[in-house]
Amino acid sequence: MLKTEEQNKIKDLSSIKVMEIFEGPLDLLLYLIHVNEIDIYDIPITLITDQYLEYVNAMKDLNLDVAGEFLFMASNLIYIKSRMLLPRIDEKDDDTFDDPRAELVERLLEHEKFRNTARLLREWEHIQSQYMIRHNDTNREIEYELDELSFDRLVKAYQMTIKFGSNYNYKYVTINTINIHEKIEHIMEIMNKKKKVKFDEMFPENISRLELIVFFLAILELIRKKVLKVTQRKFLGNIFIHKVEKV
């Protein structure tokens, strides 16, 4: 069991904020291995699992998202523990017995390596931060090289701008909005008169592409509403649009 002092320490930590103290379950495990002065290659799985679960229980209602990862490791630990308890089936060959802890140990070692590397980087960062350098001034606007320009060129550029401005004929563009409801009304007008129309004859001449699309959409809409229906007698033959007679 944990020494009471350590236990208190852990409980204190858990009441602050878990995420900042232990980056993840592997971090917590390494911490437990460290405070218990355990040989990483021979982890007393029962002890570690108990302590781990104790910690996880203490932090359960702190941060669910973090707890998820921690709980996953908890189940992993319990699984390893259960496998350690089971008698070995294959007793004849001791060498081939694979330690259920092996994978976890490997991951812990890998994790420790990168944690150490992180500490080394932190040291380097600290040293390097004292060697200050010029920084790119990101607030500065892009500057153009103006040293080849002369006053008379500026005057010329100005004159050209004025000339261009006065000679330019502005054209007003009116935006034609084509409304699908208007098209539907238009189609219904035709259909009410004729009952049956050839698809090709449906469209007015000199129709713009946009108008054509809206027209087509209007027809599709009316078919969907079962106001119109379409027939075609033979392959590649004429398509006829009919009005559906209400029963």
Partner 1 sequence: MNSPVKSVIESILFISNKPVTLSHLKNVFDKHSNEKILSIIKELQNEYESSNRGFRIQLVAGGYQMTTNPANFDHLKKFMTEKRKISLSLASLECLALIAYKQPITIPEINNIRNVDSGAVVKNLLAKSLIKILGKKKTPGKPYIFGTTKEFLIHFGIDDLKSLPPLEEIEQVLE
14: contact with partner 1 by CB under 8 A? no
Least distance in angstroms from the C-beta of 50 to partner 1: 20
Please, are residues 179 and 196 in contact by the beta-carbon 8 Å criterion?
A: no
Least distance in angstroms from the C-beta of 118 to partner 1: 4
109: contact with partner 1 by CB under 8 A? no
Least distance in angstroms from the C-beta of 41 to partner 1: 16
119: contact with partner 1 by CB under 8 A? yes
Binding string, 214-233, against partner 1, x = CB under 8 A? --------------------
Query: What crossing angle do the helices spanning 209-224 and 180-194 adopt, rounded to 10°?
Result: 70
128: contact with partner 1 by CB under 8 A? yes
121: contact with partner 1 by CB under 8 A? yes
Q: DSSP letters along 152-194, please? A: HHHHHHHHHHHHHHHH------------HHHHHHHHHHHHHHH
204: contact with partner 1 by CB under 8 A? no
3-state secondary structure of 119: helix
Binding region for partner 1 (CB under 8 A) out of 46-54, 133-141, 197-205, 211-219: 133-141
- Residue 74: how many CB atoms within 10 A of its CB? 18
Sort 32 into a burial class: Cβ within 10 Å, 0-12 / 13-18 / 19+. Answer: buried
Binding region for partner 1 (CB under 8 A) out of 8-16, 18-26, 43-51, 229-237: 18-26
Structure tokens belonging to residue 89: 């089936």
Binding string, 46-75, against partner 1, x = CB under 8 A? -----------------------x---x--
- Residue 128: how many CB atoms within 10 A of its CB? 11
Residues in the chain: 247
129: contact with partner 1 by CB under 8 A? yes
Contact residues toward partner 1 (CB under 8 A) are 23-26, 69, 73, 107, 110-111, 113-136
